[in-house]
Structure 1
Amino acid sequence: MAAMRRQAQKIRAPRRGIDQESIDFGITWKNLEVAFKEILTKNASKLSYEELYRHAYRIVLKKKGQELYIAVTTFIREWLEQNVCGKIRKLLVPSLLTTLADGPTGASVNERRTAGDRFLHGLKDAWADHQVCMAMMADVLMYLDRVYGADMRNPSVYHTCMDLFRDHVLLADSGSQESSLKSVLLILNAIVLEQIQMERSGDVINKAEIKNCINMLEALYQSGSETEDQRLYITSFEPDFLEASKMFYQHEGEQLMREGNAETYSEKVTKRIKEEQERCRSTLSESTTHKIEEVVELELIANRIRDVIEMESGVRFMIDNERLVPLGLLYDLSARVDPKKVELTKAVQKRIIDLGNEVNKAVIEASQPPPPGAPAVPNQQTAAALKWVEDILSLKDKFDAIWLESFRLDQAMQTSLTRSFADFINSSTFSRGSEYISLFIDDNMKKGIKDKTEEEVDQVLDKAITLLRYVQDKDLFELYYKKHLSKRLLMNKSISIDVEKQMISRMKIELGNNFTSKLEAMFKDIAVSKELSTGFKEYVASRGDPDLSRVDLKIDVLTSGTWPLSQDSSEEENATRPKVIYPPQVARVKQDFQNFYQTKHTGRELTWHPDKGTADLIIRFKNGQGSKSIKEVNMPTYSMIILLLFQDLPEDKSLSFADIQAMTNIPPADLKRQLQSLAVASKTRILKKVPMSREVVESDEFFFNEGFRSDYRRLKVGVIAANNRAETERERRDTEKKNDASRIHLIEAAIVRIMKQRQTLKHEQLLVETVQQLAARFKPDVPMIKSRIENLIEREYLERVEGSSPAAYKYLA
């Protein structure tokens, strides 16, 4: 608060001729002195201020201003010493002085508070009276200030009298021999500090009395220099207040730490900060707010926040038990002392990674094959993969809630959370995140979004994109997604093509056109194939073919290089895969389509993939009454090829595994899976296997099961591992091997682009820029980059710069 400024008063000019009057300074001053005593004793109602003003005016006019100024200040000093100081000293009872000097003694809190209140009230009244009286006297002496004060550059009478109160009341000796507090000001400070201590301990104090005394300290200055930093409040009280607060909060911090409860600690510190802010607003000075906040922050937060975070009841406990409110308080406290919230961020990130690693460990354990003798669990690995994704999404929802409610939507914290999720999803000990996320999308596209509203479908797609953001090796995800998408499209497994396209659009926005170009091309192929199938039917009809046994054909013509047609088998199997032998009726329609296709696209070559197709057969079985039971059976193309071998075979004749393999050329591994579905699966046992067992071996014989029974007219023959599923270890290694091979070309292309632009570049800088260019798709291994640099040097795309240290390369045009 700035020093009090009295409003400017209008000066009435004295009557003419007053300057001709003679004056006796002693008599005139005596009149003024008597009047001033009346003012100080609150008995000024009968005084004539005009007459008193004329007395002062005549004295100044007769060049006696200095004598008047000295007389006034001497009079006020003596009045303060003889009348005011005595009253103040009477309020300093021994018990109060002893308590202030030596700490709480036998006196109760109530007794100390009462004694302190009396002192504060008395000092407040003395100060208020002094201000009123000095203002009245200053009005009388206005001409003195205007002429003498201005000429001599002396402070006004009012301000001089304020300084006299400071010097002869506040700084006066307390008169106590028992106390080390030798001045009234020191006693005032001590009493206010004790009252604040009482309030901090939960007692009720008289804030108004303290505020009045604080206003007095803000109105007075340490010296004649009336600058902000010289206010008596700043120079005298505030340092003592901050030091006492520091000691108090040091002690309270130790006590709270001994209690060992992070939630209580956060609540208490938050409450203390609010209390101090309110205390400065209502009791002390708002200019102290920031300073006391710094004291609390240093003693209760900065010096202890790490220990609080690491408590057993700290961040980990709050996260695990969803204690979002206290976690939010802990966040607020951390933010007060560290804008980056380093310790809190480290603790949260560690917990995310620990929880994520637990999820990874659980899925690895769940994916292990059952022990010998235990029954196999169908789709065990795939179920574990979907469980992994659900657990990750649940973990994500948990930390989204924390970020929203506890971390105040802090973008830096969100970045840290995202980085932590990416760390454990891309952990070196867990390499199946890309595959599992693709399986999650696959499962939802086939059945998960069924009967969901548009809003719920959007939520599923958003979750998928969120997971995709965490994946570091997006090229590996693309490989799995193409594989799974191809099966959905070719086997008509997708619930909604529109939703499939929405997913691709979101991927395009997130990852760019290069990522989705082949995926979009797959949908284009499906659309073109529908047109080709319709055109082929019209082509056949136009020829008027009378063959009633003709096979209806629905064809999918897929662009080579766009579809992952060889990823279901190992490289060795694909390299040695023979051409399948089709039944005559199928071979004929196959040839017809090739002829039709050549009329549309001259010069293009079709490669047939029977392992990707399906067929519908109408099969007649004998029933118990000698009539026929007709079933419509949907099955893979391979199963159709096998079953047509039995079409004209006598009932008592069989075909061995070797016979079937020789007559169809179906690869042995695929043939075993087909025969398991046709002869072992209980619901589709269209063939009889001799001997009957769960496994198919080359010595097995197969008969057509004329007595097949089913309650359904329409059946579907599945194939072991025909649906999208989690890969085996061997399949995963093969997929990663193929992906690494494709990365070679991407790394080389990136190196050539960089060097073509830069022409000459140091080795380390080339490594850094190559990693940066490829980061959107995958994180390349440094050894792989080095090997590609060496390869490009051998192929004369680059050359080493001779004598360069460190090593550098030059681009060869």
Structure 2
Amino acid sequence: MKTINDFEQGWEYMQVGITKLKRFVEGLPGPALDPELYMDLYTTVYCRSRGKPPHDYSEKLYDKYHETIEEYINSTVLPALREKHDDEYMLLRELVKRWSSHKVLVRDLSYIFRYLDRYFITRRSLPSLKEVGLSCFRDLVYNQVQLKVKEAVIALVAKEREGEEIDRVLKKNIKEFYVEMERYEQDLESFLLEDTASYYSRKASSWIQEDSFLEYIRKSEECLKKEKERVSHYLHPSGEPKLVKEVEHELLEVYASKLLEKKHSEFCEIARGLEPIANILKQHVIDAEGEEDTAANQEQVLIRKVVEIHDKYMVYVTDCFQNHTLFHWALNEAFEVFRSKTGAGSSSSAELLVKFCDRIILKKWGSEELSDEAIEKVVKVLAYISGDKDIFAEFYRKKLAHRLLLDHGANEDQERSIVTNLKQIFGGNFTFKMEGMVTDLTLSREHKNSFNEYLANNPVEKPRIDFTITLLTTGFWPSYKTFDINLPSEMVKCVEVFKGFYETKTTCRKLTWIYSLGTCHINGKFDQKPIELIVSTHQAALLLLFNTRDKLSYTDIQTQLNVSHEDLVWLFHSLSRAKYKILIKVPSTNTVSKTDVFEFNSKFTVKMRRIKIPPPHVDERKRVVEDVHKDRCYAIDAAIVRIMKGRKVLGHQQLVSECIEQLSRMFKPDIKAIKKRIENLITRDYLERDKENANMFRYLA
């Protein structure tokens, strides 16, 4: 390896390697950077960033990194884009190509300069190397070409709407480009929605003059179908309902009165003929569900049968009745009846579906395999449980947390795929916390690698036990029962070491330890044979007290652990009254009192060499329902304030109706609950009653 004595010489050496890297990124002939040269360049940065002033060149290297990217953009990227400026297709293709090459350049340069990211940039709170690469492209390239690119994308969409073949992969890549530029919503989605409204406004104004009612409806349904097929190629899934709403508004809502006028007698006769058939279909589906309800005494079998029924009759609606809206309505009504039977206004149907999902995901449900088709079936049926989507989300989040944290059979890629399916149907707000949970697990592995590196590079006294930490973001995860406890010295050391590491990463965040989610493997030395016990952190803390004494009184244990009577009873029951009796309670009663004595059960034995001792069962269902009820109160409050802020003055009936309309996407609020929240907002001075009309409300700024 070459030895470079000062910054100028070092930078000259690095420029040779960076030039090779640029040529490689551009696809030009010449030798690529081999691993040895990469290491030489990294070492050059490393050596010039560890010296003491004035020999610490970290800031100069950071500036040079910035200048290198800017120079590449100005000398290579911008000229290439200017050449294609007048050709829509070529401009978009060149932009995608240049952005892809830019990311490769930033990735490899970041590897060379990564020592700066780890220490200098962190200490100075500067933008990371990756962020610098993004901001350079955004400032120098994106801001120059974005208007032209936006016009080109809109032109492509227009051509496709008129039947021309276009490169959908290119369009999708451009969408991803906007997302990565963090400009998707403001610079792409809003303009595409505006253009969509304008396009279909022109179409509708022409069709309403020329076409019959049936022809107009046929064209409208065809347009909606094609837009739904196209939308994923140029809009994020969250934008699909917005676009569909724009199309429906321009084609159907704007001309609703004129369309009703166009209804001629022939169609009325057809409609009257179809309605009885649709009602027959509805009743037939209800009867089929009833038969399955009676036959299936297991809730999972019931859900599975309902999914099968849905698929069966959807084929009839699609093939036999040509997707007529009347028959979709009939199927929808039939499944609403199913929802009512399984518990209208309660959590029953939503909870059943969550259990159904959980069993499929863990492959414990018959021969069902986890597949996109299986998940799609769940999502289809969930769409009919219109009043309980928030309850479904909360129960699902509980099961998801259990799979990710406690069940080693969980597959993060599959979990992310399922969440994506749900997001496409119900939007980003529905899955925001779930996405955060899955992402947390990915980030936690990165923290684990950094922590191992920290232990290797810092002369700290390492704990005598192996341990891993999972970092979770407050707000994403469900709340858990937890209580403070005096940990054994070995565990205290683990906590202190990780806390020291975490403080080197951030000073803005606070660690809160959830010991109730922890799992410990401890070796139990029993008379017949040693047995490995898998227990919770709290259980382990209690059991380790018996390392020095075979018997301990209730008072001794409570003093050493420093926990409340309620929490101690919870622990004692799991270790002395449940399936595995590791401790013996004297006297042997079901209740725990402060005069009890506990003894280590040395004669305990089982066939296995390893057993898992579960904590006492906690009924989470009641807590989930209570949490959802609180969230619904907040949602109703927010909806009322949002409506009144816009209207200023509104009658009671209209306020209730608009509130139900806003919230119905996630749940159907009870009218009594809305009235109660209105009264609550009046007492908190958000609203006031009109003095002359008690059914009229005024918004108080």
Please indicate the TM-score interval, normalised by the length of the shorter structure: 0.5 to 0.7
> Which residue is 1:716 aligned to?
612
Distance 2:608 2:639 in 1: 58
CA 1:442–1:452: 2 relative to 1, 3 Å:
closer
> Which residue is 1:579 aligned to?
484
> Which residue is 2:643 aligned to?
754
Give structure 2 stretches of 5+ with no counterpart: 1-267
- Cα deviation for residue 404 of structure 1 reads 6.0
Distance 1:660 1:348 in 2: 67
Q: 2:547 aligns with which of 647, 658, 677?
A: 647
8 Å contact kept, 1:793–1:799: yes
> Which residue is 2:379 aligned to?
465
What is the TM-score when the length of structure 1 is the normalising length?
0.48
Distance 2:272 2:409 in 1: 49
Letter in 2 for 1:648: T
- Cα deviation for residue 398 of structure 1 reads 4.8
8 Å contact kept, 1:487–1:493: no
Letter in 1 for 2:665: A
8 Å contact kept, 1:762–1:808: yes
Task: Say which SS state the counterpart of residue 414 (structure 1) adopts.
Answer: helix
Q: How does 1:225-240 map to 2 (within 5 A)?
A: none
**In the TM superposition, what whole-angstrom CA distance separates every residue of 1:63-85 from its partner, at most 9, and x where no partner exists?**
xxxxxxxxxxxxxxxxxxxxxxx
Q: 1:798 aligns with which of 683, 687, 697?
A: 687
Distance 1:450 1:667 in 2: 44
Distance 2:312 2:559 in 1: 58
Distance 1:747 1:620 in 2: 57
> Which residue is 2:4 aligned to?
none
Q: How does 1:373-772 map to 2 (within 5 A)?
A: 384-400=298-314, 403=317, 410-426=324-340, 427-428=343-344, 431-448=347-364, 457-471=371-385, 472-545=387-460, 550-566=464-480, 578-623=483-528, 629-649=529-549, 653-656=550-553, 659-665=556-562, 671=568, 674-679=571-576, 684-689=580-585, 695=590, 697-698=592-593, 701-721=597-617, 727=619, 732-772=621-661
CA 1:531–1:559: 2 relative to 1, 3 Å:
same
8 Å contact kept, 1:621–1:707: yes
**In the TM superposition, what whole-angstrom CA distance separates every residue of 1:199-257 from its partner, at most 9, and x where no partner exists?**
xxxxxxxxxxxxxxxxxxxxxxxxxxxxxxxxxxxxxxxxxxxxxxxxxxxxxxxxxxx
8 Å contact kept, 1:747–1:770: yes
- Cα deviation for residue 647 of structure 1 reads 1.6
Letter in 2 for 1:555: I
Letter in 1 for 2:354: S
8 Å contact kept, 2:419–2:434: yes
Matched, 1:345 2:278: yes
Q: 1:781 aligns with which of 670, 674, 678?
A: 670
Letter in 1 for 2:504: T
8 Å contact kept, 1:617–1:634: yes
Distance 1:565 1:442 in 2: 20
> Which residue is 2:698 aligned to?
810
Distance 2:415 2:421 in 1: 10
- Cα deviation for residue 475 of structure 1 reads 1.3
- Cα deviation for residue 687 of structure 1 reads 3.6
- Cα deviation for residue 385 of structure 1 reads 4.1
Distance 1:442 1:660 in 2: 38
Letter in 2 for 1:393: V
Give structure 1 stretches of 5+ with no counterpart: 1-334, 367-383, 570-576, 624-628
- Cα deviation for residue 501 of structure 1 reads 0.3
Distance 1:667 1:486 in 2: 27
Task: Say which SS state the counterpart of residue 706 (structure 1) adopts.
Answer: coil
**In the TM superposition, what whole-angstrom CA distance separates every residue of 1:362-396 from its partner, at most 9, and x where no partner exists?**
88xx7xxxxxxxxxxxxxxxxx4434423433443
Distance 1:442 1:736 in 2: 19
8 Å contact kept, 2:415–2:438: no
8 Å contact kept, 1:747–1:788: yes
Distance 2:460 2:689 in 1: 70
CA 1:756–1:809: 2 relative to 1, 3 Å:
same
**In the TM superposition, what whole-angstrom CA distance separates every residue of 1:282-326 from its partner, at most 9, and x where no partner exists?**
xxxxxxxxxxxxxxxxxxxxxxxxxxxxxxxxxxxxxxxxxxxxx
CA 1:387–1:446: 2 relative to 1, 3 Å:
same
**In the TM superposition, what whole-angstrom CA distance separates every residue of 1:448-498 from its partner, at most 9, and x where no partner exists?**
489976xx5122211221232122221111111112211221214443111
8 Å contact kept, 1:687–1:705: yes
Letter in 1 for 2:687: L
Task: Say which SS state the counterpart of residue 645 (structure 1) adopts.
Answer: helix
Task: Say which SS state the counterpart of residue 447 (structure 1) adopts.
Answer: coil
Distance 2:315 2:566 in 1: 49
What is the TM-score when the length of structure 2 is the normalising length?
0.55
- The sequence identity of aligned pairs, in percent, is 32
Task: Say which SS state the counterpart of residue 772 (structure 1) adopts.
Answer: helix
Distance 2:284 2:405 in 1: 43
8 Å contact kept, 1:657–1:701: yes
8 Å contact kept, 1:615–1:634: yes
CA 1:630–1:537: 2 relative to 1, 3 Å:
farther
8 Å contact kept, 2:551–2:598: yes
Distance 1:361 1:479 in 2: 29
Distance 1:744 1:588 in 2: 43
**In the TM superposition, what whole-angstrom CA distance separates every residue of 1:108-166 from its partner, at most 9, and x where no partner exists?**
xxxxxxxxxxxxxxxxxxxxxxxxxxxxxxxxxxxxxxxxxxxxxxxxxxxxxxxxxxx
- Cα deviation for residue 512 of structure 1 reads 0.4
- Cα deviation for residue 797 of structure 1 reads 3.0
Distance 1:399 1:665 in 2: 61
Task: Say which SS state the counterpart of residue 646 (structure 1) adopts.
Answer: helix
**In the TM superposition, what whole-angstrom CA distance separates every residue of 1:523-571 from its partner, at most 9, and x where no partner exists?**
2222222222333333334344556x623221122222221123xx5xx
Task: Say which SS state the counterpart of residue 615 (structure 1) adopts.
Answer: strand
- Cα deviation for residue 662 of structure 1 reads 4.6
Distance 1:657 1:432 in 2: 41
**In the TM superposition, what whole-angstrom CA distance separates every residue of 1:599-642 from its partner, at most 9, and x where no partner exists?**
2221432222111111122344444xxxxx44443222222112
RMSD: 3.5
Letter in 1 for 2:358: D
Distance 1:601 1:773 in 2: 40
8 Å contact kept, 1:759–1:811: yes
Distance 1:714 1:810 in 2: 66
